[in-house]
Structure 1
């Protein structure tokens, strides 16, 4: 167990911000020899998961489970910040209790600290403390409680009177080591005191080793002083430790429930003495979390409890502790529940059963963590954290969830590709030779990437691989590796240390999307490392297969033979990783982030992979496989029919017009989108142009890029979104200050308005690229009418009309400056509805904007407060949630009242279930990935407008996204 010593406390620390404070905490643990320097990354990673602020000015930074390998010895360091530090969650911290724990010992110190949180003055006193002794005293104040559990009960004892019952209880406490023979003698010398309701009490301070309470009840009916005996309590008293038990005993008597202990079993006795009423509803739930009820799952439990209609209380089922409010975080943490222990929940009144069902289900589901079933015959009640069992194999014919990353259905055997192992010496004697080896490997790696870019023939694959080329040519990366070699490292060690350090720095930006981008850097690093170590990946099978791997780099995806690879399944990763983006671009169904258990699959195991629902089914039965094959055949039939009619106007079955456009991440894809039936481009993500250059692209470069798309559209409209970077999509040449929550920070229009020169250049380029004569080498012949070039400019992340007006002012000025014949003649300026405030204020915006386009991905994320790439919650970020649909409805109503049109350019636009709902809400345009265009057009032709409106009303009437999908499925 962790203990706090005065030597562990550092007084009078100063920090500029929470980052600085956490750096000092990491340094203090390292200086004490408790951890390796790499443990610092674990501290930051833990804060990225959730704040370690505990309360009363105290934060308890500790590493993640993965960083435990860097712990050399268990210990703590306490840093006092008298002036306080603003923590990233908005709380003020005066003390950091920095923990290096090799197992679950940090839970002991956490539970100890919860005892001081009820005192509102603790934060002020910690800040003002002038000695390590004073800080230690404040933090170490703990409450010792008397023992009461099933072992201290002596039920059904064959006694002749109450004195024998008292001695039976004393003997039980002596057997447990709570008291010695002096205690037994003391109780033998005094008669029990009558409490009433058939209960007696005897107690002593003599011979007490540990405070405890025993209860002895008679085997047969027993009377004393003309009263039926229920039982005799024997109390081993010690200071105030037994006070809580006596208070609960008094409450039991005051409620008149003393007789309920007569002939009761141990569970009932403990429940009544814990404060549970005989009229309360109770239910048990076993803790399945590997590390017990620590802070993160405890927060989830508290949140669920607070949502219930009646108060819920909880206690450890196997102890005699008092029931506590399940809505109190400190009380729940202080239970100290370990994996395998059962919690007893209780509630009273109308709605009690529903409340208990909700909290118990939350516990069984893991409280936000992936959990494994508990087998009492195979594991101990309280395993150490480093005893976590390896992943259990996936059961046959059982769907397993992941993150839907690329749509499609695949049925094929698995090819499991494990991460290659690179064995190399850490040190080398000849730095010059090692530098030459590294330079040769970097050149070879660059040639490999160039070859892949040539094979990709443009598009997103080539774009991302080109970025890898630039990473490989980064002089700072090479210099860092060279420095490592000069210090005695081998070429391999120096290179990987440089790669790993750079990748960790990017991942430390506390943003999941940026963490995924760090995978690009490691992908580049492994390429060079493979050359240095002469490591090659195993050859895949000659037959069709589903690739199963822990994670996969973008260049690995680009190398996939789409003729054989039917699907992609990864244990890690998110839907916005470059590998997922490339899988979508190549049309490979993909499920990512499915967890470590998928790596237990063996080569040849047959899989059904559903990239739309985000799940896989290993070793399906013949019946399930047949049903999947039928779905696949039906899908292929529908795709063939949709492809044949892809150039027809998109209309519902009764002729209602809905435009279907393409979402593009690259101007080079415009021609392909037209070939697939696109009636325009509903979203051109212009940031890919900026990401592909080492510096801001100039006016001429941008004009040429935009003109390529406009010319390919041949008179069809282009909706170009202005630069949407910052936050989750940084540019290397446009540094943005590190933000605690980049998704709520400086991004989109907020960022570009800080550099109006950048925004103005982009707007000018778009206007000039859409000029009537743009792209024509010679003037048109007299009397020949050129096709119009409709340009729609869309502003991202608009929260209200003020931001729109600021951008509109620039556009108006450019229209006045640029001669009419040199700029777009058919122009509209609109906004992207991604922020709920934009939808709520749609009436004021609709009076000034020309159109709206709803980005359902971000709108859903911000409305539901769920990161759409969260490894646990992402499945709940459903755009069919009624709250999101209501915001879309509000936007459409406001726009149509002003004669403006509304599009939807998020993932919801290609969801077959959502398409009728969106049409029923009045959406005028659906913009989807180019591959989805024929299918969305075909889906529109399957229903009438009236039916769509009915489905929209039905969806709006539901309470949850699950209810929406269930209701629509029934139809």
Structure 2
């Protein structure tokens, strides 16, 4: 028996045969062309087809994996439509009289090299995206598929790593598990695997050799072990573990309809994170006690222009009504960094994760902010809505938000438009600054919600999308837990509630810690709710 050891990033045990993901890396020849106009049109047609493919991928991924996982394909569309990218290709066709696919290939190399040399980790990550979108255009121009799986039987999918577009296009019925040579816990393949409930092991490096093709293996996504030629005792142990996990899934269904409380009766609100009203089916199916984070930016990212007050009102109203009196916390606009909408005309920044984003856009463009707040307050007449401001770093920012909210309430009152008089206003604790001054901030708001994803990133100075530094991004770091505890203590001293809406909220190894901190609410992906409810019920 041989044991391959990697990092488990999605739980589960499966038995299956290995099949490698094969890419058709079409060799691009440098051909001279004489009809420049025709060749340019050929490129533009291929680019348009690629944009259409990505739009379809966005919809498919959003429906299967949720809004947050699908946003990357909008970024890819914007890359294809980037003026500099397009001009570079057409200039090569015109000036060098080369075929479109060669011009795309050379531009891809130049742009990828440019991104890879940048100081900012986020921008360096865009090098892979340029290669991905360029490969799509070249495949269309050459008439060759980009690659995939051969055969139809379900398998353990092996690859060096998978681009987001490759993962999203897979037939999920064919994939029993993912095993990859590269990757990180926060890479798209790992995120997609967790969302789909497919076991995954990454970081196998040179252990993942081509000789494994067709071999029978056992994948344990919780320990990161892949067993080759497993002996009888190991097969029996893994089969028992698999059966135990399946039994646990059936057991979790018994927690539907139960309150979320510890053995001693301490109650915690267990809510859901959503990115679109279409996610409501999963929220209701998994028995969430509310919505702890509704990411409103989907309205802006799905639109070619600023969404109107009426469009926003209808979306917020629909979710509020479906929750039937349960609290719905709606985060105001969080555009910027990796979530871009062309019509905002945001400046290109060397470090966008720390640039013009979220509340900074709202306070510098109050007309956009007021439109959203009007829609939110109008929807509050149809359910229990709370409003949450992201990326807060100072008391002054909160006071400005409250002043604009007061103006909106005054206008609605004058116009005779109904709204609730008890809408809670809260902030996200996702910067170290907010946690450190949480005693002052708590006096200004009705609640806190800790965004652990960004709090981790900013506290540890680690870009969580950067695979190269994944080992330094310790989500359990003492500094992060101290900042959360400090925020919780200051919230309760001021008499307000505090929740956690980042990925750590679903980390069952920290559940007891959060209970000890007296966290009032945990908001997680809908599929994590029943398992977390079961875990909380076992705490003394």
Shorter-chain TM-score category?
0.7 to 0.9
Contact 1:463 1:692 in 2 (8 A): no
Structure 1 position 843 matched with structure 2 position 439: yes
Structure 1 position 793 matched with structure 2 position 387: yes
Counterpart Cα distance in 1 of 2:300 and 2:103: 31
2:3 aligns with one of 388, 397, 409: 397
Inter-CA distance 733–575: structure 2 relative to 1 (3 Å threshold): farther
Alpha-carbon offset, residue 678 of structure 1: 1.3
Secondary structure of the corresponding residue to residue 853 of structure 1: strand
Alpha-carbon offset, residue 467 of structure 1: 5.7
2:230 aligned partner: 621
Alpha-carbon offset, residue 676 of structure 1: 1.5
Superposition RMSD on alpha carbons, in Å? 3.2
2:20 aligns with one of 412, 416, 420: 416
Contact 1:464 1:578 in 2 (8 A): no
Give the paired residue count: 531
Contact 1:666 1:685 in 2 (8 A): yes
Structure 1 position 524 matched with structure 2 position 133: yes
User: Which shifted more, 531-540 or 604-613?
Assistant: 604-613
2:168 aligns with one of 551, 558, 567: 558
Question: Deviations for 1:163-185, whole angstroms, at most 9, x for unmatched residues?
Answer: xxxxxxxxxxxxxxxxxxxxxxx
Alpha-carbon offset, residue 852 of structure 1: 0.9
2:143 aligned partner: 534
Question: Deviations for 1:894-913, whole angstroms, at most 9, x for unmatched residues?
Answer: 22222211111122211121
1:631 aligns with one of 241, 251, 254: 241
Alpha-carbon offset, residue 441 of structure 1: 3.7
Q: After the TM superposition, which residues 490-889 of structure 1 pair with which residues of structure 2 at under 5 Å, given as runs?
A: 490-502=99-111, 510-536=119-145, 537-592=147-202, 595=205, 598=208, 602-609=212-219, 611=221, 615-619=224-228, 621-622=230-231, 623-737=233-347, 739=349, 741-772=351-382, 789-819=383-413, 821-889=417-485
Secondary structure of the corresponding residue to residue 563 of structure 1: helix
Question: Deviations for 1:130-149, whole angstroms, at most 9, x for unmatched residues?
Answer: xxxxxxxxxxxxxxxxxxxx
Contact 1:567 1:609 in 2 (8 A): yes
2:93 aligned partner: 485
Q: After the TM superposition, which residues 203-222 of structure 1 pair with which residues of structure 2 at under 5 Å, given as runs?
A: none
Inter-CA distance 421–485: structure 2 relative to 1 (3 Å threshold): same
Contact 2:19 2:149 in 1 (8 A): no
Question: Deviations for 1:899-931, whole angstroms, at most 9, x for unmatched residues?
Answer: 211111122211121112111210111111111
Counterpart Cα distance in 2 of 1:649 and 1:930: 16
Contact 1:835 1:862 in 2 (8 A): yes
2:527 aligned partner: 931
Question: Deviations for 1:197-236, whole angstroms, at most 9, x for unmatched residues?
Answer: xxxxxxxxxxxxxxxxxxxxxxxxxxxxxxxxxxxxxxxx
2:505 aligns with one of 898, 902, 909: 909
Counterpart Cα distance in 1 of 2:460 and 2:54: 40
Contact 2:54 2:76 in 1 (8 A): yes
Q: After the TM superposition, which residues 368-383 of structure 1 pair with which residues of structure 2 at under 5 Å, given as runs?
A: none
Q: After the TM superposition, which residues 268-307 of structure 1 pair with which residues of structure 2 at under 5 Å, given as runs?
A: none
Contact 1:413 1:604 in 2 (8 A): yes
Contact 2:75 2:340 in 1 (8 A): no
Counterpart Cα distance in 1 of 2:418 and 2:211: 61
Counterpart Cα distance in 2 of 1:646 and 1:844: 39
Q: Which has the higher helix share?
A: 2
Inter-CA distance 644–507: structure 2 relative to 1 (3 Å threshold): farther
Inter-CA distance 923–483: structure 2 relative to 1 (3 Å threshold): same
Secondary structure of the corresponding residue to residue 449 of structure 2: strand
Question: Deviations for 1:744-784, whole angstroms, at most 9, x for unmatched residues?
Answer: 44443234323233322222222223333xxxxxxxxxxxx
Counterpart Cα distance in 2 of 1:561 and 1:790: 39
Secondary structure of the corresponding residue to residue 703 of structure 1: helix
1:434 aligns with one of 36, 39, 43: 39
Secondary structure of the corresponding residue to residue 397 of structure 1: strand
- Name structure 2 gaps, 5 residues minimum: none
User: Which shifted more, 503-512 or 703-712?
Assistant: 503-512
Counterpart Cα distance in 1 of 2:206 and 2:305: 39
TM-score, with structure 1 as normaliser: 0.50
Question: Deviations for 1:540-588, whole angstroms, at most 9, x for unmatched residues?
Answer: 3333222222332333222222222122344445555555544444333
Inter-CA distance 802–453: structure 2 relative to 1 (3 Å threshold): closer
Question: Deviations for 1:274-333, whole angstroms, at most 9, x for unmatched residues?
Answer: xxxxxxxxxxxxxxxxxxxxxxxxxxxxxxxxxxxxxxxxxxxxxxxxxxxxxxxxxxxx
Q: Which has the higher contact order (CA 8 A, sep 6+)?
A: 2
Contact 1:646 1:933 in 2 (8 A): no
Counterpart Cα distance in 2 of 1:927 and 1:843: 23
Question: Deviations for 1:686-720, whole angstroms, at most 9, x for unmatched residues?
Answer: 23333333443333333333333333323221112
Contact 2:4 2:204 in 1 (8 A): no
Alpha-carbon offset, residue 597 of structure 1: 5.3
- Name structure 1 gaps, 5 residues minimum: 1-394, 773-788, 945-971
Contact 1:639 1:934 in 2 (8 A): no
Counterpart Cα distance in 1 of 2:371 and 2:219: 45
Counterpart Cα distance in 2 of 1:526 and 1:827: 49
TM-score, with structure 2 as normaliser: 0.86
Contact 1:855 1:905 in 2 (8 A): yes
Contact 1:571 1:593 in 2 (8 A): yes
Secondary structure of the corresponding residue to residue 678 of structure 1: coil
Secondary structure of the corresponding residue to residue 750 of structure 1: helix
Inter-CA distance 409–874: structure 2 relative to 1 (3 Å threshold): farther
Larger radius of gyration: 1
